[in-house]
């Protein structure tokens, strides 16, 4: 049996999504458009929130960092995927593969945790509106944000360190379009049981903690909304968390389907579809979900545009 350890293995081969050249070309055009829109929409969201003082609140503070994470998350995967689709060179170095895996897990864990922090913010806003400025102080918001990045950092570190210790046999071909956990484990000739336990503990504990926070927050929110007598009051309260609930459903649905199941039930086709959705599509959808359904963001965008036009008009007059 031919075996490589981590010092001798130079690169992996990413097989991608399809062998058909026509399909590869079509996917490259589609993914490029999605990625460009992802970059522009997330940068636009960050710019609008930063420039408009009326959006300087805890909710939009977290939303800014959701855009930062989505932008980073997509940039870890999509550019390399585009290169592989457009060229015959599909290799990725051993180090590059594990850096991609590390950043992927880090930003993924951070996004899961950030969605929980956003749910807690909505809980306080709806269930304890009078104490909202005190509870969601700048100091607490920064602490929650630091915690989300730290959780992602810990998940990524333990996952990558446990996988990097394995030996790889016979093939260095990864049957996926990026360096993900299950396809890499499939190449190992070592006993992966302990590594799988580490991965399940990291992913499971982060998801479980997040789901507990989300469930508790939304049960409390729903209970509070049902106590509101006026229909307009109920609609207003629900509209403040509807976008977040939709984003949570999309992200959690695909990640749970992919990772919280035994390796024996791994299905390449189904996992690739789910992976495309949460690595490439969702980072594009989040700015749409949180802007199109949010009047404050729309009004802020109008104000920012008018302000810039006013500045340009003033400069032209002065000239």
Distance in angstroms (rounded) separating the CA atoms of residues 264 and 182: 10
Q: What is the CATH number of the domain that holds 259?
A: 1.20.1070.10
Query: How far is residue 264 from each of residues 64, 186, 196, 260, measured CA to CA in Å?
Result: 39, 10, 11, 12
Q: CA geometry: angle at 211 spanning 206 and 213, to 5°?
A: 100
Distance in angstroms (rounded) separating the CA atoms of residues 152 and 149: 5
What one-character DSSP code corresponds to residue 279? Answer: I
> How high is the pLDDT of residue 160?
94
Full domain range(s) for residue 208 = 3-318
Distance in angstroms (rounded) separating the CA atoms of residues 192 and 152: 22
Residue whose C-alpha is closest to residue 259's, from 202, 175, 212, 214: 202
Distance in angstroms (rounded) separating the CA atoms of residues 158 and 150: 12
* Total number of domains constituting the chain: 1
> How high is the pLDDT of residue 148?
95
Q: Say if residues 68 and 39 touch (Cβ distance below 8 Å).
A: no
Distance in angstroms (rounded) separating the CA atoms of residues 212 and 116: 9
> How high is the pLDDT of residue 262?
55
Weakly modelled stretches of the chain, pLDDT under 50: 1-7, 313-318
Residues in the chain: 319
Which pairing describes strands 173-174 and 3-4: parallel, antiparallel, or unpaired?
A: unpaired
What one-character DSSP code corresponds to residue 188? Answer: B
Query: How far is residue 176 from each of residues 17, 119, 168, 196, 285, measured CA to CA in Å?
Result: 7, 33, 16, 18, 23
Task: Give the number of other CB atoms < 10 A from CB of residue 305.
Answer: 11
């Amino acid at each position: 049996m031919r075996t490589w350890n981590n010092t001798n293995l130079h690169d992996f081969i990413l097989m991608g999504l399809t062998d058909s050249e026509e399909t590869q070309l079509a996917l490259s055009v589609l993914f490029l458009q999605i990625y460009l829109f992802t970059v522009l929409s997330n940068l636009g969201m960050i710019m609008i929130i930063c420039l408009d003082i009326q959006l300087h609140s805890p909710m939009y503070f977290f939303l800014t960092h959701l855009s930062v994470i989505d932008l980073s998350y997509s940039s870890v995967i999509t550019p390399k995927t585009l290169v592989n689709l457009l060229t015959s060179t599909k290799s990725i170095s051993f180090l590059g593969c594990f850096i991609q895996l590390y950043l992927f897990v880090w930003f993924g864990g951070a996004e899961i945790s950030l969605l929980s922090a956003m749910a807690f913010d909505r809980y306080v806003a709806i269930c304890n509106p009078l104490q909202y400025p005190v509870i969601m102080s700048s100091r607490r918001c920064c602490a929650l944000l630091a915690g989300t990045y730290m959780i992602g950092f810990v998940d990524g570190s333990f996952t990558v360190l446990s996988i990097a210790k394995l030996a790889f046999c016979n093939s260095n071909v990864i049957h996926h379009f990026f360096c993900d956990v299950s396809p890499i484990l499939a190449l190992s000739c070592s006993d992966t049981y302990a590594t799988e336990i580490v991965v399940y503990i990291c992913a499971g504990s982060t998801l479980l903690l997040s789901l507990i926070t989300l469930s508790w927050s939304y049960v409390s929110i729903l209970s509070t909304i049902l106590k509101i007598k006026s229909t307009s009051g109920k609609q207003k309260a629900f509209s403040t968390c509807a976008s977040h609930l939709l984003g949570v459903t999309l992200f959690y649905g695909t990640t749970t389907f992919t990772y919280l199941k035994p390796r024996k039930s791994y299905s390449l086709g189904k996992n690739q579809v789910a992976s495309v959705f949460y690595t490439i599509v969702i980072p594009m959808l989040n700015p749409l979900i949180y802007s199109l359904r949010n009047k404050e963001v729309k009004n802020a965008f109008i104000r920012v545009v008018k302000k810039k036009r006013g500045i340009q008009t003033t400069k032209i007059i002065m000239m």
